[in-house]
Structure 1
């Protein structure tokens, strides 16, 4: 589908003189394709590139439109990758010239990249970036208008009905029939709906020779505004999709990527989205009509025949697509619910489930029915994995018999044999059906099937020749709100369906069908395939029982989990694993955008963990050097077993007496110096710090807080207020009136540095100044927040005696001192259990989180009996989940592992090994400015110049990316300048892990340019 053709023999002669005369430019010139205009690439000796266009005589309004739109975009969208006009010697952007006849000359800036049609780098990201570009372009063009855009133009899809009289130009009968059907459908069903959609000027020609891609496959430019027209906005997406899908294994998926990206920057309506697929097909029909007419007029132009091969091939591919399913997929891609009624139907089912009858033998007839649960029977797990299709179901039947069960189940969402629709589907994993959409119920031959609620027989199908699976029946139902849906019953007996008629009413609990025997079901064991259907896709009783994994977000709407109707006593559905692209799109739709994704350029899908490693969906092990939450190692077996054991026995709140809670409290407080011997249990470090703030304010009656610059203490509103990392950063509201910020004691960049023996006392003087500032206003501090090692500050080790002096200043003013050990507690610093101990101080309050439960959501506040007593003022403190038996059991297991595996000593030794190795690397790599830390809480600061200490955040970003990409090591950045390599791996991080990291870091640093 290409309207452009080469414009004849080389005509570069004379262009040099014209360029020099008009623009005072000289350079190498090469001719480019063009349908009517002469186009030339100009490369100057200085390395500048331009596009020279010599327009053929024609519509002046059209040319003026092309000039005016670039001027409009220069003002309203200067960042868009489109050409910009270059004025001639007299300042004009369009000049009359004589070159093989009268022409009008324009010089434009050159856009770099490979045309889409010839690029080898195009992928899913190409379609996404194209959609984003077009969305931004059209958003900028909403205020643009021009008489030339109001033309009646045959390449405007909205005018497709006018081409019906050109269909006879198409000679091939199959092609003629296909085009006629598409245009007739457009005229009758699509055109009436277009009239009410948003209209504006659009580019209208984002074809595969007008779109440029860079080396990474992202769109880098859009050419040729000659086809602009004022029409329906959604046509922009359809035109781009028609070209972008050429050669795609999943055409609808490609269109969906464009539409989704367009929608994110320039939202479209549901009505627009529902017409995109029809408009793409119509674009192909328009192209075939136009080409047929041109071939009739210019039969010697064989190029037109070649260019139409892509069109016909892709049109045939689209003919294999279910058009209704294509619409639902495009709805989902743009964030709309695929089947608008699906959520309402499921809510109706959940509200009324208590009135449903059993599908297989009502409960009053089978009071003690035994169900064989394949999902929970571990003895079958390995054997089940070896079977699929009929083998699987024969195995199920034998298992049911061996267990003495009345019936068994097959699971919704599980992987099944790849169901073959045709060779095209088998060759394209993106559209291959393999996920079970129903629940299979295994029972004896001719077991009655009962209607769970009233309905009528809507569709019936029995095609023993093609599938051999016995009859399928769909009962139609209607909710109170008027939403129609169906229940599907497959693998029935023919005998039981003989009396069924379309439209027949079926009452709740009525036996209307039977389980089919083996001979009627391809020798499969007798079973009922039960499925909910919210949209039968026009397939009626031929409705698919298996969906496409990559399209699961759509298929689960078409056929939601039937468990709501069956009410089985065992699990009968599974979570269907999705690819990364789908998960990202789902996260953006369902989860607040403020929650970021790690390594967003190449995100990981993590499905497991072991020790110091995370494991992705492909089975690759990633060395985790940033996860201090799983302190004793990912999925430590002792912690896992403790959780499983207690969960199986009891989990309740802490108001009841329980040995584990008291024992954990005793064990935990034993790790602290006196008088820190009272616990409060909560669920997160943020909750712990919020409670600590309440304790302090209640104890002294004061409200103001002192915090250290660039600190972070939690995500609750009360803690954002005391976290300069948040309130002074992007999106922050600034420092609250009740907060005083003390200078960050940075021995590398601060006022007092390494070697200054009095640095701790000097930095603490700023704490004193904050206290004095409060006193000047007649106020006293309630609490000072500090960490024993500053995490978000850049893994900064505190100067000797800093906390000793800072605590003294605060306490003399009547305030309390808090040690935030949420990041660094539980032996990570190597020399002590708690980082505050390295400063030889005892806080008034200590907060714990993250490593306390090795990933389980638990946290604690440790304080004195005196402070705890003042908090018991009559207002009860209660936390529903804090200190529950499961959390206490997990906490005990973590303490046991730290003790038994000598993890504190391990952190000391491996941490020193790592820091010694990093300092040795600093002798070879000038970019390493500082190495600091305690135990396995380490920072490596990168600088561009050691003298000026200019931060190197971009270089660090490259280092982190290369360590991940080339070495499988996961790290992140920290510090006020984002130039500190943050190292805080799980404590089992081994000497071998350490050496591997150092070798890898050396290699990556050596490769920095």
Structure 2
């Protein structure tokens, strides 16, 4: 027995119990507990158990604990919970006399450190706890037991009963805080709680009942003694009350926990709205319970363990704005932060045509100047050195320079904070910095008009030195009865003095006026205009700036005022957010099947130049996988071509336009006859889909032959001809109209390097597929192949493969397609198109990706005969394909390839890279093969050059190391995911090449054997 307990006779009794009932012997350590006696038992062989000794007075509760563990052992065996162990006679319970009569249970031990003592707790702890509780409660939905239907003091669903105990709290401040919470619970929370789902819950995920592993993840949940049948959402509130202890942002912790729970066990909007109040209620109940129990049992110091934490954290929560806290929790669970905000915004959009101008209603379409008032704006430094008169003069000067009627400062900007007689930049740690309204700069005493009818709801005058003057909120209601407000700040005191609360204001009525600089903090005279869906209890003291990290919440509290203003220039900006938020929003708003590159440490890319991408911190990343921006990221000639044409005209291709005809001429000239007819579309997938239609129209056949592991696009018709998709995870297998030819892999296939007949031999399988169709009385419509097999692992084709394959298909009446979506436009160096390496002329060529340097455009080139067969009376039209902007971009790309000699450049640099990689292979046996043409290269990694065992895990490490240490972006390819895929923008330089080779050498040297 642990010497701390001082009960030698008790230790002997526990030892006898373990020996006689369970056949165990070992070290016993006492653990804390409120009702039960708890002990850790560690045997000589290292096994660990939990021994619980229950008082005999609550048989139903004990039976419930046993029943729930049995239930969960069947419904959720994967959850990290203790499991009951029988005694030597197979019984679940044993009896003992230790501090009176006791009922003993032996349970499996859960590894980990309790939350309260773990130094590893953090965001992941909160999230894993939320998920665990969500899964637990989902598994308990069908569970019921008489022991759970008890009148239990720790069930905060019954918190109103503690109003009779609140007087036992000795400290006056604490007593009155608890009383206010409990009264609010009875009056406002409980009626809504009664509409929520009920079930049995754990009810006590406190920081002594939750275990964490070394990484801070939840590894176990203890003690089902507080289980009760109550409202489900209480589970989140109880856990939240403990999880937030000591955290920097308690609401963020509660929201993160609720979101994780919601992700596996969805809760409703009412439940999400009640969590904040229920956390506070838990604290109030804890204070009442402790006060009563300490009165009855003053020597039980366990009751005092958490009371100081409770009071400190309750005070922190009481300092939070309740409305904002609820909005943040709602948002975390995927609900609109302000429930009625979307309805208000839709009402404003529907009725905007009837709104009156706020400033100068006689001007139908005012000319507006947008001022940049951000900390780094062009006038920020100038304003920082000006007095009030100088600032006003500068605004007037800017308005005059642009011939504007007035100027505006934008919604969503990071603002310059004004203090005294100078402008100061908001510090990065400022709590609120993002502008929630639009500032309209005009002369002092300019009349302010109501955009639509309302009434004066609140007035506040910030009259302290350097205050911001009077603010007025007008109240409005939508047709559905949703109430909202419009806010008008920096007003003149004389105009506001004429207003009274409740006064009706008609739409278009001039009800107040701009204040002078002297009465609005020495700002240049302006009106701060803001929409408010929830004034947060602040009334006319409502905040005019919000918190960047919570922008999605503040945007719902104060939506973009542009809908009311209707100005001819943008009155708002996009507020940049951090990466965790963007990941969360992508997962919520965009299909999760759209993957994120480097998901463990995603990049937020905000710019690009040449072969480099630039992240939010200005770090430059060498991009070695982006063959889309073929002539370089943001190439100035391509950008300018788009800007010029966009400013002139963009329409569909039904109208005559020189650029479209010129582009079709230039593109067709890159192919030999008879490839001279162009179709323009928007993506490589569209191009390949159209190619299938062309082939079927010409041949009258439907069947397609494709190469194994190929990928040709994301449309349904192309998933059908992409073994990479239909034979992979989530695929539905090969469709009946598709035949798959063997992949011609010279490195690990049946016929390898050195076999001069390999191309003919691999093409025999194309002939076999043609024969298989013939045996069923069918013929091919089209044979799909790339000039270099991309998803196959950057595989170069053996000599004569396409020539032989084309011959087999054409002999059966089919057409042959060259998919140049990945490899076209000079990337292969020796030729403009990859299929030219094989010395063939396809019947159809499809292009995409590099064709527009990132602009969404693509094309199909075919023969006049094929095009004529497609013109069968059904008109083909593509709204955006071949539009003037796309045509000008396409021409600019061709010009850059020509003028910057990029095809030759790809050849020279590509050969340098492959030579360097082959030299590395002499020192790094993990490099099995280096292959490619130009700047379309694959480096295959193997664990053994004899067995060719793929080194997929090692490649993942290489890609991660190259990113982390060297800022080089790479990706994997191939059926075994062991091919390093290299296809950078064509401006990839010799210096870039050498930097990559040195980094790869360093990285491979670091790999563990």
Q: TM range, normalised to the smaller chain? A: over 0.9
Aligned to 1:631: 630
* Inter-partner Cα distance in structure 2 for 1:523 and 1:187: 48
Deviation sequence 1:294-322 (CA, Å, 0-9, x none): 33345456665563222112111111111
Aligned to 2:1007: 1007
Structure 1 SS opposite 2:469: coil
Alignment map for 1:135-154 (pairs within 5 Å) = 135-154=134-153
* Inter-partner Cα distance in structure 2 for 1:272 and 1:827: 59
Structure 2 SS opposite 1:587: helix
Aligned to 2:711: 712
* Inter-partner Cα distance in structure 2 for 1:1001 and 1:27: 54
1:165–1:920 CA distance, 2 compared to 1 (3 A): farther
Alignment map for 1:859-1008 (pairs within 5 Å) = 859-1005=858-1004, 1006-1008=1006-1008
1:742 aligns with 2:738: no
Structure 2 SS opposite 1:382: coil
Alignment map for 1:66-465 (pairs within 5 Å) = 66-99=65-98, 101-299=100-298, 305=304, 307-363=306-362, 366=363, 369-374=366-371, 381-384=377-380, 394=392, 395-401=394-400, 403=402, 405-417=404-416, 432-465=431-464
1:915–1:39 CA distance, 2 compared to 1 (3 A): farther
TM-score (norm: length of structure 1): 0.93
* Inter-partner Cα distance in structure 2 for 1:674 and 1:7: 96
1:160–1:388 CA distance, 2 compared to 1 (3 A): farther
Does the Cα contact within 8 Å between 1:929 and 1:943 map onto a contact in 2? yes
Structure 1 SS opposite 2:676: strand
**Offset at residue 696 of structure 1 (A):** 1.0
**Offset at residue 349 of structure 1 (A):** 1.7
Say which is worse superposed, 747-756 or 270-279, in terms of deviation: 747-756
Aligned to 1:423: none
**Offset at residue 944 of structure 1 (A):** 4.2
1:57–1:368 CA distance, 2 compared to 1 (3 A): closer
Does the Cα contact within 8 Å between 2:5 and 2:30 map onto a contact in 1? no
* Inter-partner Cα distance in structure 1 for 2:923 and 2:902: 32
Does the Cα contact within 8 Å between 1:149 and 1:229 map onto a contact in 2? yes
**Offset at residue 268 of structure 1 (A):** 0.7
Does the Cα contact within 8 Å between 2:241 and 2:282 map onto a contact in 1? yes
RMSD, matched Cα: 2.9
Does the Cα contact within 8 Å between 2:914 and 2:931 map onto a contact in 1? yes
**Offset at residue 138 of structure 1 (A):** 0.6
- Point out where structure 1 has 5 or more consecutive residues left out of the alignment: 1-5, 421-425
Say which is worse superposed, 223-232 or 660-669, in terms of deviation: 660-669
Does the Cα contact within 8 Å between 1:419 and 1:432 map onto a contact in 2? no
**Offset at residue 639 of structure 1 (A):** 1.7
**Offset at residue 387 of structure 1 (A):** 5.7
**Offset at residue 813 of structure 1 (A):** 0.4
Structure 2 SS opposite 1:267: coil
Say which is worse superposed, 302-311 or 13-22, in terms of deviation: 13-22
* Inter-partner Cα distance in structure 1 for 2:309 and 2:459: 39
Aligned to 1:723: 722
Does the Cα contact within 8 Å between 1:435 and 1:546 map onto a contact in 2? yes
Say which is worse superposed, 388-397 or 131-140, in terms of deviation: 388-397
* Inter-partner Cα distance in structure 2 for 1:409 and 1:879: 41
1:906–1:437 CA distance, 2 compared to 1 (3 A): same
1:708–1:408 CA distance, 2 compared to 1 (3 A): same
* Inter-partner Cα distance in structure 2 for 1:414 and 1:489: 18
**Offset at residue 938 of structure 1 (A):** 2.4
Deviation sequence 1:374-412 (CA, Å, 0-9, x none): 25x99x953337767998965535533555543110101
Aligned to 2:594: 595
1:551–1:153 CA distance, 2 compared to 1 (3 A): same
* Inter-partner Cα distance in structure 2 for 1:110 and 1:952: 39
Deviation sequence 1:964-1001 (CA, Å, 0-9, x none): 33433322222223333322222222333334334444
Alignment map for 1:732-811 (pairs within 5 Å) = 732-811=731-810
**Offset at residue 234 of structure 1 (A):** 0.1
* Inter-partner Cα distance in structure 1 for 2:638 and 2:151: 72
Structure 1 SS opposite 2:613: strand
Say which is worse superposed, 599-608 or 908-917, in terms of deviation: 908-917
Does the Cα contact within 8 Å between 2:415 and 2:426 map onto a contact in 1? no
Structure 2 SS opposite 1:415: coil
1:65 aligns with 2:61: no
* Inter-partner Cα distance in structure 1 for 2:367 and 2:905: 53
Deviation sequence 1:466-509 (CA, Å, 0-9, x none): 87212111112222222222111111111112221222211121
Aligned to 1:661: 660
Does the Cα contact within 8 Å between 1:829 and 1:937 map onto a contact in 2? yes
**Offset at residue 333 of structure 1 (A):** 1.2
Does the Cα contact within 8 Å between 1:430 and 1:550 map onto a contact in 2? no
* Inter-partner Cα distance in structure 2 for 1:927 and 1:70: 51
* Inter-partner Cα distance in structure 2 for 1:1004 and 1:385: 46
Alignment map for 1:848-863 (pairs within 5 Å) = 848-863=847-862
* Inter-partner Cα distance in structure 2 for 1:683 and 1:105: 72
Aligned to 2:566: 567
Say which is worse superposed, 405-414 or 589-598, in terms of deviation: 589-598
Aligned to 1:3: none
Say which is worse superposed, 775-784 or 208-217, in terms of deviation: 208-217
Say which is worse superposed, 666-675 or 494-503, in terms of deviation: 666-675
**Offset at residue 325 of structure 1 (A):** 1.8
1:163–1:487 CA distance, 2 compared to 1 (3 A): same
Structure 2 SS opposite 1:274: helix
**Offset at residue 360 of structure 1 (A):** 0.5
* Inter-partner Cα distance in structure 1 for 2:818 and 2:26: 69
TM-score (norm: length of structure 2): 0.93
Aligned to 1:652: 651
* Inter-partner Cα distance in structure 2 for 1:944 and 1:66: 52
Say which is worse superposed, 63-72 or 314-323, in terms of deviation: 63-72
1:999–1:16 CA distance, 2 compared to 1 (3 A): farther
1:211–1:901 CA distance, 2 compared to 1 (3 A): farther
Structure 2 SS opposite 1:243: helix
* Inter-partner Cα distance in structure 2 for 1:84 and 1:360: 71
Say which is worse superposed, 343-352 or 736-745, in terms of deviation: 343-352
- For these two proteins, the number of residue pairs brought into alignment is 996
Structure 2 SS opposite 1:863: strand
